[in-house]
A and B are shown apart, each in its own frame.
Chain A
Amino acid sequence: MDEDSLISKALASDQGFRDLVVKYTPYMRIVACAIVGESQSADVVQEAWVSIYKALPTFEQRSSLKTWVATITANTAKGCLRKQSRLPLLESLTDETTDVIRGRLDQQGGWSKPLAQWHEETPEELLSNDDLMACIKMVMEQLPEQQRAALLLKLFDGLSLDEVCNILDVSSSNVRVLIHRARHKLLEHVEHFQVTGKC
């Protein structure tokens, strides 16, 4: 069903609106999860849908419906962060000291402490280790908000860097930095798990 028909049906009946909710909720969940973390994402999505319900009759289709619902979800999520006085941007972008992978290089630019050979090397082998997956999930939740957001939006939604920039209100170069640091943090934790068996 195309967007116009979806919108018309959503405006015409409760069942039509429910179809819209069913279609976009998983996507909005990922956007919300990326910004506020999993524990609060369901609340953010509910709030966002109330706003969408109110605004849909005046939606002018200047952007796609998907972009529009993503923007409303992101704004609701950021409002939620503001209420809690969490300031993700500053924290995430000044988080340079914790790039432990970079700390494994010597002054000449070579590896002083290269990554160890892992017991499980392929995604399938890593995936079969429940303790490791629980560890990765925990590390994801603990990443600075905007690092997690940039990484998830890029990965799950396959959004372009420009779209991620718009949703997060950061420049393209900053999004690259955020994604790079998030990858390094996850890599370091998996490395630690592989070497020590602990998260």
Chain B
Amino acid sequence: MLKCKDIVDNSSDYLDRSMPFGKRISVWLHIMMCVNCRRYLRYIQAVMALLPTIKPQEDDEVLVDKIMMKIDVDKNKQS
């Protein structure tokens, strides 16, 4: 029987689905019975779901213009 510590130590493998099937079942059995581990895994998933909304601030179009200007400057230096 897994302990809560095993769930905490192996949560990334469980969430990333990189855990062998047998161990995955053991984790599932544990979280069915343990409200604290169930909450821990649910909250980690919720926090991870937020991260793709955090994007770099500068508009990419502005950056593209800067890049093309920098390349022009570099070309002119070489010629």
Q: What residues make up the interface of A, taking CB atoms closer than 8 Å to B?
A: 14, 17-18, 21-22, 25-26, 29-30, 33, 38, 41-42, 45-46, 49-50, 53, 101-102, 105, 108-111, 114-115, 117-118, 121-123, 126-127, 133, 136-137, 140, 151-152, 155-156, 161, 176, 179-180, 183, 186-187, 190-191
Contact = CB atoms under 8 A, between A and B. Distances in A.
Interface residues of B, number: 39
A41 B12 contact: no
Contact of A151 (B11, B51, B71): B51
A45 B67 contact: yes
B21 to A, nearest CB: 19
Given A45-B63, A114-B39, A179 B50 contact: no
Nearest to A26: B60
Contacts of A114: 36, 39-40
Contacts, number: 120
Given A114-B40, A183-B12, A190-B43, A29 B48 contact: no
Residue of B8, B36, B37, B67 with most chain A CB atoms under a 10 A cut-off: B67
B68 interface: yes
A122 B47 CA distance: 9
A102 B12 CA distance: 13
B54 A176 contact: no
Contacts of B51: 136, 140, 151-152, 155-156, 186
16 contacts: A17-B68, A18-B64, A18-B68, A22-B60, A38-B56, A41-B56, A42-B58, A42-B63, A50-B74, A53-B74, A101-B8, A109-B3, A123-B46, A155-B51, A183-B12, A183-B47
A41 B67 CA distance: 13
Interface string B46-79: 1111111110111010011011101100100000
A125 to B, nearest CB: 9
A33 B56 contact: yes
B66 A42 contact: yes
A140 B51 CA distance: 9
A109 B36 contact: no
B29 interface: no
Given A21-B64, A29-B63, A105-B8, 10 more contacts: A26-B60, A42-B56, A46-B70, A49-B70, A50-B70, A53-B74, A101-B40, A123-B50, A179-B16, A183-B48
